[in-house]
Amino acid sequence: KQEVTQIPAALSVPEGENLVLNCSFTDSAIYNLQWFRQDPGKGLTSLLLIQSSQREQTSGRLNASLDKSSGRSTLYIAASQPGDSATYLCAVRHDPRGDYKLSFGAGTTVTVRA
């Protein structure tokens, strides 16, 4: 069974510092990996989607890398702002043998101090 782990569980940084969020998964036979942001009491907002054949994806200040063989993905957020405070979740999509279902990590809660 796929296990997805996100470390650390919580992170507090001063404004302007770069954020590094880690996600690891136990079964490297994934189809793609998606990073989400969740604000308190809200649904999930998709940030980046990386296909299994890709090494990284970028959107603005966000960059996500994927190393499928080692079962790791990292989300980098450059020059953090207080508005980046949220919980960040990674999810891996299983390959066809797993019926394309998603498995989620428990998330990293980020606080950016002004």
User: Are residues 93 and 34 in contact, defined by beta-carbon separation less than 8 angstroms?
Assistant: yes
Among 24, 80, 103, 108, binds other proteins (CB under 8 A): 103
Among 60, 69, 97, 99, binds other proteins (CB under 8 A): 99
Q: Are strands 108-113 and 10-14 parallel, antiparallel or unpaired?
A: parallel
**Of the ranges 20-28, 62-70, 73-81, 99-107, which one interacts with other proteins (CB under 8 A)?**
99-107
Nearest 5°: the CA angle 74, 79, 81 is: 105
User: Are residues 73 and 64 in contact, defined by beta-carbon separation less than 8 angstroms?
Assistant: yes
Q: Are strands 62-67 and 108-113 parallel, antiparallel or unpaired?
A: unpaired
What binding mask, one character per residue, do residues 38-77 give for other proteins by CB under 8 A, x or -? ---xxxxxx--x-x--------------------------
Which residues sit at the interface with other proteins, rule CB under 8 A?
4, 31-32, 34, 36, 41-46, 49, 51, 89, 91, 93, 96, 99-107
